[in-house]
Amino acid sequence: MSTPALEIDTSGLRCPLPVLALARRILEIPIGETIAMTSDDPAAGPDVHAWARMTGHTFLHEESNGHGTRFLVRREATQDPMNGLPEGI
């Protein structure tokens, strides 16, 4: 797997903040590139999977390590990354 264009660490943040950080920061990378997010929030896995599906991005991989879980997502869409998230978040 190639090196991600951007790595973010959301350790210490709790739902919904990790996926919100991912949604904002993915705009910093070109379409077709990959972002990696590390989180120690148990809810981050389902959130990242659902967010990627709802926004048209590709969930590539997740792996656990001693500090949490690292998620890889490829940017596929130019649509609003906040699409699919509940209002008020």
Calculate the CA dihedral of residues 88, 19, 52, 83 and round it to 10 degrees.
Answer: 20
Predicted model pTM: 0.85
Whose tokens are 């609003």? That residue is 80
Question: Rounded to whole angstroms, how far apart are CA atoms 2 and 15?
Answer: 28
pLDDT of residue 14: 97
Q: Measuring CA to CA, which residue among 8, 42, 40, 45 is closest to residue 25?
A: 8
Could you report the per-residue pLDDT of 46-83, keeping only the tens digit for each?
Answer: 999 999 999 999 999 999 988 899 999 999 976 655 55
What's the DSSP call for residue 10?
-
In which band, very low, low, confident or very high, does the pLDDT at 89 lie, cut at 50, 70 and 90? very low
What's the DSSP call for residue 28?
G
In the chain the domains, ranked by start, together with CATH numbers, are: 6-74 (3.30.110.40)
